[in-house]
Amino acid sequence: MLTREEVEKMRKSGEIPTVNLKIFDNIYSLPFSQFVIDHENDTEELYTHYIDDVLDLKDDNLGSYLNAIKSVEIVDNQSLEKEDSFLMSLYMQTGKTNAIDFLINNGVTLNRDAFINAHKLILKGTSSQKFSDKDHRTDNEAFVVRVENGNPKIRYFALPYTDIEEAIKKIMEFYNSDIYDDRIFLKSQIIHGLVAALQLFDDGNTRYARILQNIKLGELTNKKYNYNLQLPALYGTRAYFPHRNKYRELVGNLAINPGYESWDAWFNFNLNRTEDAIFFIDNKLSSYKKMIYKK
């Protein structure tokens, strides 16, 4: 186990990469490869067929379905980061506000207070609840580890805490802009990648990144197709479970070298996971319809 002094010495040496604000340099001008564009179009075709199936549900059945898959996602999102799914399920029964509902109720424009407070809600009821009173990290001790030959090694250091407020501002600007709004998956995946790579918080960074992706996808779906779904109809966390290591590797690549190749690999990976999620949930939706419409 490295001491605080050893970690600080390694950080100052510059031998290990540190995430910096340059990750924002290219996000407004990413030259999406034709492969990524075609991949997203294929994914969107699957998705719109699924949404049509969702919209076949009427009134209370639609609301029940959207709330049910939201509840499953909340537990899945925590479980992917090794939180106790049973305890999380119990905590949800207390009626506490969750980050998804909080962000939905906040509206489509995200401001700093909403961004910070939604993250705090993610940590409530978890093993990291002690961090839920902080707005963000207040030191430079955060780093990401990878295991090489059975030995943990620091892969990169998180964004310096003195740059966090500027990073939040830049995330808000991108989130609230209309750039790439027609690319409903790619824009939401950029937001996911930024928040996951920057490591703004002591814990809950990737959990929050996935939530923001889901919220933005739901918002852009309503905007592009003129729907009025009150909650997202698709969540993808369950599809990441078999791919944890690859997921973390790609987040690390964005953190260390946020160039076009890293973004392309990130998009293709996430589009694959989205397709996995669509196939899974569409099958569950079919079963749900058989249950409620059985005569």
Helix (H) or strand (E) holding 157: strand 151-157
Give the pLDDT of residue 295.
53
Q: Which residues pair with 148 in a beta bridge?
A: 151
Asked if the structure places residue 191 within a domain, the reply is: yes
Asked if the structure places residue 214 within a domain, the reply is: yes
Asked if the structure places residue 2 within a domain, the reply is: no
Give me the domain span that covers residue 172.
15-289
Global confidence as pTM: 0.94
Model confidence over 102-120: pLDDT tens digits? Answer: 999 998 899 999 999 999 9
User: How far apart (Å, rounded) are the C-alpha atoms in residues 35 and 163?
Assistant: 34
Residue 1 — very low, low, confident or very high, per pLDDT cuts 50/70/90?
Answer: low
Written as six digits, the tokens of 230 are 């009150």
Mean pLDDT of the chain: 93
Contact predicate 189/30, CB 8 Å: no
Which is more confident, 272 or 128? 272
Asked if the structure places residue 96 within a domain, the reply is: yes
Q: Which residue has the tokens 């999406």?
A: 32
DSSP 183: S
Number of domains in the chain: 1
Written as six digits, the tokens of 24 are 């924002």
User: How far apart (Å, rounded) are the C-alpha atoms in residues 71 and 65?
Assistant: 10
Q: Say what percent of the chain tops pLDDT 70.
A: 99
User: How far apart (Å, rounded) are the C-alpha atoms in residues 207 and 100?
Assistant: 11
Residue 192 — very low, low, confident or very high, per pLDDT cuts 50/70/90?
Answer: very high
Type of residue found at 263: W
Q: Which of 234, 118, 237, 135 is nearest to 175 (CA)?
A: 118
Give the pLDDT of residue 177.
97
DSSP 18: B
Asked if the structure places residue 219 within a domain, the reply is: yes
* Neighbour tally for 238: CB within 10 Å: 19
Asked if the structure places residue 174 within a domain, the reply is: yes
Q: Measuring CA to CA, how many Å separate 149 from each of 91, 146, 152?
A: 38, 10, 8
Asked if the structure places residue 9 within a domain, the reply is: no
The CATH number of residue 31's host domain is 1.10.3290.10
Helix (H) or strand (E) holding 288: helix 260-292
Q: Measuring CA to CA, how many Å separate 221 from each of 35, 178, 187, 290?
A: 22, 13, 12, 26
DSSP string, 131-151: GTT-SS--SS--EEEEEETTE
Asked if the structure places residue 74 within a domain, the reply is: yes
Q: Select the highest-mean-pLDDT range: 37-51, 89-103, 114-128, 135-149.
A: 37-51
* Neighbour tally for 106: CB within 10 Å: 16
